[in-house]
Amino acid sequence: MSTSVAGSCPSQAFGAPSKSSSRQAQISPIYEDSARRAEAEQAGADVTVQTQHSQADLLQADSHKCRGTRPVQVLLNHAQTWELMQEEEETLKAINANNKDLHEVLKGLKSWSFDIFDIKKDDLPKMVERIFHDIGLFEALPLDASKFFGFVNSIMGQYRAHVPYHNFRHACDVLHATYLLLTLVEGQKMLNTLEVFALLLAALCHDVDHPGVNNAFLSITNDPLAIRYNDLSILESHHASTTIKTLLAYESTNILAPFSEAEQRHIRKLLVEIILATDMDHHFKIIEMLKSRSSDSNPFECSPPYSMLDSRHNSGTFPEGASSSSQSSSGSQTTVVPSRPSPSSTKDATLLLKMLIKCADISNVMKPFFLSKRWAALLLTEWFRQGDAEKKIGLPVSKNMDSENPVALQ
């Protein structure tokens, strides 16, 4: 049974408590390179974003690059990475060998103890679809199921398979945490349908094409992404941009097509704001906004509700009484479409969306220990790789990233 998206906005103070296969759909041609890279990495190949290299080629290229001008892909593809990938492949095989029946696993979806590692990678898009169904978005919005599945698979293909932590499984884990915050904590009652939709999409896409290193590393090495985004929210800007490109590049992945132009712009705006909120450089600013709003006794201001009628206006299909007809001087019949305001979100709703994604993004630390320790191990693996890359090019090793000094974690 689907959970209804629509809900009455609670009149309370802001701070007061309230009650199929991943390859079924083709990946967009513009992202075929990302897909090939992911597939090759899963097979144990050592590749960069654009060109495949042998281990010797990578090491030779690395030695000829000047410090501060090397893209991160070259830095992270060397013999040691090759060995780590081989180990991970064996680990993934062991995980998949123990995978349980998907239907049985998804019975525990509405629990913080839900073990996302019990789901095979190729079945993760089905979990995504299940969450969107359970929230009621396929009933409340003009979503095309085929395009939705194509979009999810395209996004999955752009998450890098060799990145230990910031991969598609992490994205689905954050989506799941967002789902629980919307349902068990009843966050969806304070948001309209478009906001819930944008939040879940952002959760799924918030780390797409993450290279496995942080913004500071990209900036200090003059990575092309750092240059493109002027050292400002480098990764988060890239994730948001990649998400929008995937939505708009091809008809097969454009799940926003049935929405009006104003609705599409609003959803895109929300996606960018939500994904950028995951940048820890914005953390204290957002927390200060929350503290300020929590001390305000005014009721939470909900955004105007969304109705499917709005998108029917855009497609030319109207319920009885929703439009009127008139006759032109030439005798032809014309349809008069009622005017409607452009969608908008209040400051309260926008702040809540940012807080929800932030909480979901780091939620694994408050899950049962058997889950949190597994995520911690994957994160450490990723950090240690960055630390090794920093040593290799003569940079100071970032905090918590020295594989030879685990004491730094205490």
- 173 is an annotated ligand-binding site residue: no
Tokens 């990475």 -> residue: 81
* Cα dihedral across residues 99, 100, 106, 108: positive or negative: negative
What are the φ/ψ torsions at residue 47 (nearest 5 degrees)? -135, 160
- Cα 3 to Cα 109: distance, rounded to the nearest angstrom: 13
- Cα 269 to Cα 11: distance, rounded to the nearest angstrom: 26
Helical residues (DSSP H) of 30-113, grouped into ranges: 32-42, 55-64, 72-76, 79-97, 102-105
DSSP 8-state assignment for residue 49? S
- 134 is an annotated ligand-binding site residue: no
* Cα dihedral across residues 253, 259, 264, 267: positive or negative: negative
Instruction: Single out the residue of 157, 134, 133, 135 nearest to residue 21, CA to CA.
Output: 157
Residue tagged active-site, from 162, 166, 210, 238: 166
- The count of C-alpha atoms lying within 13 angstroms of the C-alpha of 39, restricted to the half-sphere facing its C-beta, is 11
Read out DSSP for 361-401? HTGGGGS-HHHHHHHHHHHHHHHHHHHHHHHHTTPPPPTT-
Name the burial class of residue 234, with classes exposed (0-12), middle (13-18) and buried (19+) by CB atoms within 10 angstroms of its CB: buried
- 206 is an annotated ligand-binding site residue: yes
282 catalytic? Reply is no
- 208 forms beta bridges with none
Cβ-contact 30, 249 below 8 angstroms: yes
- 207 is an annotated ligand-binding site residue: yes
Neighbours of 241 (CB within 10 A): 17
What are the φ/ψ torsions at residue 12 (nearest 5 degrees)? -145, 165
Containing 285, the helix (H) or strand (E) segment is: helix 283-294
Q: Which residues are known binding-site members for Zn(2+)?
A: 170, 206-207, 361
Query: What residues act catalytically?
Result: 166
Q: Which residues are known binding-site members?
A: 170, 206-207, 361
